[in-house]
Amino acid sequence: MRMNRSTRLNLRAQNLFTGLLLAALLGIAAYATDQYPKRWDWTVGGRHSLAEQSLKAIQGFKDDLSAVVYVQEKGEQRQEAQDLLEKYRVANPILTVRFVDPDLDPAAARREEISTYGTVVLRSGAKSEKVTELTEEALTNGLIRLVKGTVKTLAFLTGHGEHPLTPGERDAYGTLAQLLKGEGYEVTELDLAGTEAVPEQTAVVVLAGPRKPLLPVEVERLERWLGAKGRLLVLRDPDSETGLEPLLQQFGIGFSRGLVVDPVSRVFGGGPTTPLISEYDATHPITRELRLAAFFAEAGEVTVAAATAAGDIRTRLVSAAPRGWLETGDLGSGQVEFDPAADTKGPIWMGVAVEKGAQRLVALGDSDFASDTYVKFSGNGDLILNTVRWLAEDEHFIAIKPKKVQDAGLTLSPGSGIVLFWGLLVLMPLILAGSGLLIWTRRKKR
């Protein structure tokens, strides 16, 4: 093709138009990524993605939300905070993040009473929350407390041998109490024998594994509080008496005599009387999001009668021992065998939830699963926390709690390490060097 002045002008115009078009496309792409941020996480287990509960917490804000991070200008902590908060900002772009070096701006640090590096002050409207740990769990709990606004009180009954809330004992509920406080609940103990009534501000009453039954006057006071909108959680160990059996029967809830035997538990290192929960109800808010199997230390059967009135919703939540049974005989001899004449073949239901108008009740056939010894195992913590959230009408936060990121490093055996060393660091360089030398020699001979 002959090049003349007209042809050159056309080519220049085409190049200019193409350049302007590419610049416009790049500008549109930059604007879109800023206004509509999107991330993809292809790591194993999604270690760079927020947990479902974190997503629910950050997406609960519709107006304004800011995070001020007090860290030193230079250092790994700033980058760590920036990477973590960016995940939340992607999930909800209304979040604004600002960094303040308390060494360079001590007045700002004093106003917020900042005492440690890495403190994050979350603010929405006139409310604020202070988070002193740069972890997903701590930030999510701070967001939950911020969006709730009001503090709900959980009252754990005492005086009957229940699990203590203070840590130190093997069966204590200290870890559970800390988890609940982290989500913004006020956790208290309540002695009904010495109190004329359950405090009105109480959101949920918990009876956790009593070793002796409640007194009639305590049952009367609890029934009076339950009224038309009370919330009650009963954690009952096998073959024990709570004193609430007649009250629970009014809601169709009953307890069978015997102990759940699950032979499959031996495969996972447990005993036959440590049932592994094999089925969750897929529709109830407490259990529909649960993915990890929970297990009870020792459990009994919890039954529920069919509802007879409109607005009375009764749900069987968890079951275990599909190949096991409910043992009613004596296990002291060490012989564990199914007796079709006396035992009930599995699966055995060990938890129910009842919703009657504004009343909500949950009964579970074991209390030890939520103790310090077991609450961090598998899905135990998620089960008890989801139960409390549902009873307290915090369904929006029913999800899987953020898990601590585990190091996904590569572990090699001594033999594999030797193979990799000689293969990658010695053999491969020699092969490449030899190949290069051979090619150079052949070319030189030509």
Q: What percentage of the chain has pLDDT greater than the value 90?
A: 58
Q: What are 174-218's pLDDT values in tens digits?
A: 999 999 998 889 999 999 999 999 999 999 999 999 999 999 999
Quote the pLDDT of residue 22. Answer: 87
Confidence of residue 403 (pLDDT cuts 50, 70, 90): low
Domain stops at, among 104, 130, 147? 147
User: SS3 for 361?
Assistant: strand
- Whether residue 128 contacts residue 146, with contact meaning beta carbons closer than 8 Å, is answered with yes
- Please report whether residue 37 resides in a domain: no
Structure tokens at 24: 């416009």
Quote the pLDDT of residue 3. Answer: 62
Quote the pLDDT of residue 34. Answer: 67
Residues 97 and 163 in one domain: no
Q: What mean pLDDT is predicted for residues 336-360? A: 92
- Please report whether residue 196 resides in a domain: yes
Structure tokens at 441: 């020699």
Q: What mean pLDDT is predicted for residues 16-32? A: 84
pLDDT at 94 over 80: yes
Higher pLDDT, 9 or 184: 184
Give the contacts of 93 (CB within 8 A, at least 6 positions apart).
Answer: 35, 36, 37
H or E element at residue 216: helix 216-226
Confidence of residue 411 (pLDDT cuts 50, 70, 90): low
Quote the pLDDT of residue 297. Answer: 93
Q: What are 342-352's pLDDT values in tens digits?
A: 899 999 999 99
- Please report whether residue 445 resides in a domain: no
Quote the pLDDT of residue 37. Answer: 60
Instruction: Report how many domains make up the chain.
Output: 2
Confidence of residue 153 (pLDDT cuts 50, 70, 90): very high
- Please report whether residue 375 resides in a domain: yes
Residues 135 and 154 in one domain: no
Q: What mean pLDDT is predicted for residues 68-76? A: 91
Quote the pLDDT of residue 29. Answer: 79
Residues 217 and 293 in one domain: yes
Q: What mean pLDDT is predicted for residues 370-378? A: 93
Beta pairing, strands 202-208 & 231-235: parallel
Residues 228 and 96 in one domain: no
Quote the pLDDT of residue 70. Answer: 96
Residues 220 and 96 in one domain: no
- Please report whether residue 256 resides in a domain: yes
Domain stops at, among 98, 119, 147? 147
Name the residue range of residue 259's domain: 150-331+339-397
Cα–Cα distance measured from residue 123 to residue 303, given in angstroms and rounded to the nearest whole number: 46
Cα–Cα distance measured from residue 20 to residue 26, given in angstroms and rounded to the nearest whole number: 10
Q: What are 240-275's pLDDT values in tens digits?
A: 999 999 999 999 999 999 999 999 887 777 888 999
CATH code, 135: 3.40.30.10
Cα 245–297–393 angle (5° rounding)?
60
Q: What mean pLDDT is predicted for residues 78-94? A: 92
Residues 120 and 198 in one domain: no
